[in-house]
């Protein structure tokens, strides 16, 4: 795992500079919110690996549980924070307001398909794209890596996604937005056998 910490982020003629110097950034160890995990997902390896395609896992009914194969984490994102994820298949690595709809399969229930969530779509075949309000923004073409990183500066309204290749961060996309509610990490799965490892 990269130990780099972000101190400052500036936009200069559409370029993003990340200064790796400060310890003021919180590296987040994500914790799955078990009440939100769809019955199509299997959680294993001490709640660190999630795999899609497990038909109707017998989780108890809960109003917070998603119908679509996705989940949220318990971590409320505050200040500046950073985390990394390994993935395989076709997944969305997301941040979301907690009030996202849970029941049904329409866009307002899917991470990246509504105004309450932002997602990095990761696909072994199609590369990377960013989704918000069901609108797709392609990322700069780059070789696909099994590791990605997410950086949030909540107060500044910055959400950045990175590809990790040979322990180097490669910027994929930055969202600038005034967040109005606490953000929570989340994951959505688009093909059977897709996985994320926290």
pLDDT digits (tens, 9 = 90+) for 72-89: 999 999 899 999 999 999
Q: What is the DSSP string of 163-176?
A: EEETTEEEEEEEEE
Answer for the pair 93, 196: CB distance below 8 angstroms, yes or no.
yes
Does the pTM exceed 0.75? Answer: yes
DSSP 8-state secondary structure symbol assigned to residue 134: T
Instruction: State the residue for tokens 């910055």.
Output: 158
Distance CA 74, CA 149 (A): 18
**What are the residue boundaries of the structural domains of the chain, listed by start?**
26-197
> What SS3 state is found at 108?
helix
- Condensed to tens digits (0 to 9), the pLDDT of residues 128-177 reads 999 999 999 999 888 899 999 999 999 999 999 999 998 899 999 999 99
Contact in structure between 137 and 127 (CB atoms under 8 Å): no
Largest CA distance in the chain: 51
CATH class of 26-197: mainly beta
**Cβ(98)–Cβ(181) under 8 Å?**
yes
Q: How confident is the model at residue 3 (pLDDT cuts 50, 70, 90)?
A: very low
């Amino acid at each position: 795992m990269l130990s780099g910490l972000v101190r400052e982020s500036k936009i200069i003629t559409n370029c993003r500079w990340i200064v790796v110097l400060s310890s003021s950034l919180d590296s987040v160890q994500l914790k799955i919110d078990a009440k939100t995990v769809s019955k199509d997902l299997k959680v294993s390896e001490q709640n660190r690996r999630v795999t899609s395609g497990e038909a109707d896992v017998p989780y108890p009914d809960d109003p917070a549980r998603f119908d679509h194969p996705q989940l949220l984490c318990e971590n409320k994102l505050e200040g500046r924070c950073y985390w990394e994820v390994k993935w395989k298949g076709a997944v969305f690595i997301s941040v979301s307001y907690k009030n996202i709809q849970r029941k049904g399969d329409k866009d307002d229930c899917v991470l990246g398909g509504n105004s309450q969530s932002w997602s990095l779509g990761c696909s072994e075949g199609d590369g990377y794209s960013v989704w918000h309000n069901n609108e797709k923004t392609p990322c700069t073409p780059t070789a696909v890596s099994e590791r990605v990183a997410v950086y949030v500066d909540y107060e500044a309204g910055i959400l950045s996604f990175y590809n990790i290749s040979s322990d180097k961060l490669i910027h994929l996309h930055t969202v600038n937005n005034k967040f109005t509610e606490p953000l929570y990490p989340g994951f959505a799965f688009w093909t059977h056998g897709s996985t994320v490892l926290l």
